[in-house]
Amino acid sequence: MMGSSSLKSITNHTWSYDVFVSYEGGDIIQSFVDHLFRDFKRKGIRAFKEDDHVRRGEERSPQVFRAIEQSRFLMVILTEGFSSSPSCLRELVKIIEYKEKLQDKYKINIVYHNCKPEMVVKQTENYEATFGKHEKLVKREVPKWKEALIKAVNLPGWDLERLANGQSLRAILLFC
């Protein structure tokens, strides 16, 4: 529960976005994310959507990191393919760093979409394979990425496989 001073600082802050969603866009997740953003819009929730703000070929990180800082709520959708994306892993590191720096000023929730928390923590299945590749290409970043994933699993969240169809979007919308 947030203290009154934390709540006051949140309400006095001008947020550019209500929610920032970090996800790795594959075919399976895209349908879910499209529904999520459509429901955000219908409910009047201002959500940062990377496709709307970052042009093709443009450097992502500065704009995306700025959006993370300017969003009241942060949501990370972990999927089997999340660990294959260095940019998603960098976003996660930034989100975790921001949470630790600002404590209660940011609310973060993790959504598991066709992925189990155990897979993330134990680095099994796709996570094991992709981190093997990352070790060869971006070795110095890998320890930060693994640490951020472990911290993320310890945050509140939803395993969509455990929620009835349709309940998942309602639960997420209540979070925002």
Instruction: Supply the pLDDT for residue 1.
Output: 36
Helix (H, G, I), strand (E, B) or coil at 54: coil
Cα angle 102-100-88, degrees, rounded to a multiple of 5: 110
Q: Which domain holds residue 151?
A: 4-175
Instruction: Supply the pLDDT for residue 116.
Output: 85
Q: What average pLDDT does the segment 91-99 reach?
A: 92
CATH number at residue 104: 3.40.50.10140
- pTM score above 0.85: no
Cα angle 68-70-73, degrees, rounded to a multiple of 5: 65
Q: Which range (1-5, 122-126, 155-159) has the least confidence? A: 1-5
Q: What average pLDDT does the segment 150-159 reach?
A: 90
Q: What average pLDDT does the segment 101-110 reach?
A: 80
CB contact at 8 A, 20 and 74: yes
Percent of the chain having pLDDT more than 70?
Answer: 76
Closest CA to 46 of 28, 26, 64, 72: 72
CB contact at 8 A, 142 and 135: yes
Number of domains in the chain: 1
Strand order, beta sheet including 157-159 = 47-48, 17-23, 71-78, 107-112, 157-159
Instruction: Supply the pLDDT for residue 8.
Output: 39
pLDDT tens-place string over residues 55-85: 444 456 788 999 999 999 999 999 988 998 8
Instruction: Supply the pLDDT for residue 110.
Output: 92
Q: How confident is the model at residue 156 (pLDDT cuts 50, 70, 90)?
A: confident
Instruction: Supply the pLDDT for residue 165.
Output: 60
Of all residues in the chain, what percent are helix, strand and coil, respectively (each to 5)? 60, 15, 25
* Residues assigned a catalytic role: 91
pLDDT tens-place string over residues 7-41: 334 445 678 999 999 998 775 677 888 888 988 99
Q: Which range (41-50, 98-107, 113-122, 144-153) has the least confidence? A: 98-107
Residue 3 predicted with pLDDT over 50: no
